Chain A
């Protein structure tokens, strides 16, 4: 619908940007799509949360969106502008680093031949406001209609409070 294509940061390794429409969701607007030469998953430490969690090849935190319910991408409209899904061309599989369980990796169809990478059934997203690798500013945030959590290497959401709440057990 929009000839103007939203774009995402050109992080190291990303070589192309395009737009797409989420399959079956009825959305008609453009949303960001990241195409990389090599999509990869690895595990990184998040000391502030006392945990390890999945990150992409550049070290940016990967999140799951609770309303997806391990079924399909439900982050639509402006949501993917803030939470771009980790996408991969059809037929490719992400490279994996130590600690990543390969049998938990999958993909779900979007459109235009693109797919979103899933882990234990959860579609994976990055958070635009994570401006540095190794940060997890989106942890346990309730935004765009649901909660966002990091994913542990075993595929389960890490529900520890993030942000201000991580230093304040009295807040939700």
Chain B
């Protein structure tokens, strides 16, 4: 484990965390104990413990995008692994896709995107800003959810033994990744800053509290930490958790 890894287990929540048991199992199999998140993140992404300083809503949403980004990497890695294999399906790739989709379904689609749909997009629309972009983002939410349904229904070892199903899952994962990379990048760099600029300091604080309350009601106060821990466990199972492996060698002059 790296020095930033905590020892505190927070994999306790509800259906996002229904994948938790699986994630823990994956993590245990990978020899990590299943958690990575340090307490400095527990105040982020909507946590509402008394006395905590809440992240502004746009920052909150960007932190949640970090979870999405990590699932996209899980998807890409798993897809590459499946496509590279010529023999039987490697179960770790199938499991990683399925467990990643559970996080997308419960944390991103049912929570994070709902906040965008209920607060961010309407505010921009009412202000006459980024209207066409918002329509595109909404349509992409719908298309993404359709793909997640396909992935959750079919990303199993048994179903994917059928080449037709395997192709369906691969197409769904591939198109999901391709769509969400520019989707979240546009939101982070254009949509959320525009949204923030529409709100005064007081409304930002109010909205931060609202986001925190909704998260606590729906997913529990540790939902963000839970999601991060699940993602970390899946990354471990795929051997992509250690950040150092992504550092390229020095350029030789």
Contacts and interface: CB of A to CB of B under 8 A. Distances in A.
B149 interface: yes
B139 A164 contact: no
Given A131-B135, A143-B105, A2 B207 contact: yes
B122 A163 contact: no
Nearest to A27: B217
Given A6-B119, A170-B164, A29 B206 contact: no
Nearest to B202: A3
A172 B142 contact: no
A30 B118 CA distance: 10
B147 A143 contact: no
Given A129-B117, A165-B150, A9 B218 contact: no
A9 B125 contact: yes
Contact of A171 (B118, B143, B153): B153
Interface of B: 105, 109-111, 113-115, 117-119, 121-123, 125-126, 135, 138-139, 141-143, 145-147, 149-150, 152-154, 164-165, 168, 172, 203, 206-207, 209-210, 213-214, 217-218
A163 B105 CA distance: 16
Q: Which 10 A-B pairs have the closest CB atoms?
A: A81-B118, A163-B146, A137-B142, A78-B114, A129-B142, A172-B153, A2-B210, A7-B122, A6-B118, A77-B218
A58 to B, nearest CB: 15
B219 to A, nearest CB: 9
A127 B117 CA distance: 10
Given A1-B210, A164-B172, A170-B168, 13 more contacts: A2-B210, A4-B210, A6-B122, A8-B122, A29-B210, A30-B210, A77-B218, A79-B114, A128-B121, A131-B138, A137-B146, A141-B149, A165-B153
Interface in A23-81: 27-32, 77-81
Secondary structure at chain B's binding surface: helix, strand, loop or mixed?
Answer: helix
A7 B203 CA distance: 14
B154 A81 contact: no
A82 B149 contact: no
B213 A1 contact: yes
B115 A81 contact: yes
Interface in A143-172: 143-145, 162-165, 168, 170-172
A7 B168 contact: no
> Considering residues B115, B143, B146, which has the most beta carbons from chain A within 10 angstroms of its beta carbon?
B146
Contacts of A81: 114-115, 117-119
Contacts of A30: 210
Contacts of A79: 110, 114
A2 B209 CA distance: 8
22 contacts: A2-B210, A3-B203, A3-B206, A4-B203, A9-B125, A29-B214, A32-B118, A77-B214, A78-B111, A78-B115, A128-B117, A130-B142, A131-B138, A137-B143, A143-B105, A144-B114, A162-B146, A164-B168, A165-B149, A168-B150, A171-B153, A171-B154
